[in-house]
Amino acid sequence: SSSKDTTRNEHEEPSKHAPGVVLDKDGKPCRTCTSSAAWMAMMKSSPGKKLTPAAPVAQPPSDFPPDVEELGRSTWTMLHSMAATYPTTAPPETQSIMKQFISTFSKLYPCWHCAEDFRGWMAKPENEPKVQGQDELGLWMCQAHNAVNVKLGKSEFDCSLWKQRWKDGW
Ligand code: FAD
């Protein structure tokens, strides 16, 4: 299948004006593409407000719309949990539904630049979703997550432990 984006219009490149703040096509900052730290720094330095670089940047309230990190954590929780509850051996129809879900997910994920990179990663033949059964899907999901970890400069998770983390407990 193609990784071409059929759901999203073209977007702007990340802003050059507010460090770390990513813009949508309409030029407005994309909350789900941006960290809270960058977001709050942008709010602090918005026109009319005096920027005080030494002052700590406030945390957003807990019921604020999710930033790129909270969205990511919640999404990985759902994706790994889906793998953890997937059939040991999935019937063809279930495999097909899972493939469809992953494809659709990768086009609708609310952080557009995350979604773009994720589709790019999946487009490589060796990274095609593995949906035969729970072990295959769980390992694939772990590898997908590790690809993002590497991109963000984080350490890789030991994928032999994915079931302890997301299914059985330690
Ligand atoms: P997370 O990476 O969210 O991980 C949550 C927990 O999962 C960890 O505490 C750990 O226990 C466990 N874990 C970690 N790695 C693995 C693994 N490989 N397998 C199994 N379990 C694991 N953010 C960006 O800034 N830029 C991006 O381009 C980007 N792309 C993303 C693409 C997708 C599809 C998703 C779902 C998220 C993306 N994110 C991106 C968000 C990013 O992956 C993190 O969720 C976010 O940075 C918060 O990281 P965290 O350190 O709290 O833990």
Instruction: Give pLDDT, residue 6.
Output: 42
148 ligand 1 Cβ < 6 A: yes
* Same domain, yes or no: 143 and 109: yes
The CA–CA distances, whole Å, from 84 to 15, 52, 104, 167, 169 equal 38, 47, 20, 5, 11
Q: Please tell me whether residues 119 and 38 are part of one structural domain.
A: no
User: Tokens 């302890």 sit at which residue?
Assistant: 164
The pTM of this model reads 0.87
Q: How far is CA 125 from CA 2, 3, 119, 121, 145, in A?
A: 11, 12, 12, 9, 17
Low-confidence ranges of the chain (pLDDT < 50): 1-15, 51
Q: Is residue 162 part of a domain?
A: yes
- Look up the ipTM and state it: 0.99
163 Cβ closer than 6 Å to some ligand 1 atom: no
Number of alpha carbons in the 13 Å side-chain half-sphere of residue 23? 15
CA-CA distance, 117 to 83, in Å (whole number)?
21
Q: In CATH, what number is assigned to the domain containing residue 150?
A: 1.20.120.310
